[in-house]
Amino acid sequence: SSTTVALVMGDAIAITLLNARGFTPEDFAKSHPSGALGRRLLTLVSNIMKSGDDIPIVSKETSIIESLLVMSQKALGMVLITDNNNTLPGIFTDGDLRRVLEKNINFQNLSIKDVMTQNCKSIQPNKPALIALQMMEEYSLNSLPVVDGNNQVIGAINMHTLMQAKVA
């Protein structure tokens, strides 16, 4: 029992010193970047996002059918809708598709702008991936567009992307 007491006292002193010096989880992460805490705190959205040809993007005038094909090909559970400047006016997700089908809307002649979700949540690439995870959990999202400061699409992530990066 004396060794257990010594260990407890040593841990208590170490924690007290860490608190007195203002040692944060971020400091720990910098010292141990490969560990679970380090990976969660130091991984940026830009490190794990899908970019370039892997982004499911369509224009506002694209038909719903063509948009669904892009969504299936890119396998992120969403398609991002852009305007002429590559700005993000909206998103269409698997959940949006289910809601459209529930309303029995004849979408054969509709374009994606008629059913997209406007003013969707997004994240910037310089944010920690942990923030993206928290946003997705808070708003019950499975997918998240990545935009720059001008709201132009530069990437996309989904919950599977976060899990592969071992952030979730």
From the list 143, 159, 153, the residue with the least C-alpha distance to 58 is: 153
Query: What pLDDT was estimated at residue 157?
Result: 95
Tens-place pLDDT, residues 49-97: 999 999 999 999 999 889 999 999 998 999 999 998 889 999 999 888 8
pLDDT recorded at residue 19: 82
Q: For position 81, what pLDDT does the model report?
A: 95
Please list the ranges in the chain whose pLDDT falls under 50. none
Full 3-state SS string of the chain: CHHHHHHHHHHHHHHHHHHHCCCCHHHHHHHCCCCHHHHHHHCEHHHHCECHHHCCEEECCCEHHHHHHHHHHHCCCEEEEECCCCECCEEEEHHHHHHHHHCCCCHHHCEHHHCCEECCCCECCCCEHHHHHHHHHHCCCCEEEEECCCCEEEEEEEHHHHHHCCCC
What is the structure's pLDDT at 133? 92
Query: In the prediction, which pLDDT does 51 show?
Result: 92
Q: What is the pLDDT of residue 38?
A: 56
pLDDT of residue 28: 65
Residue-level pLDDT at 37: 55
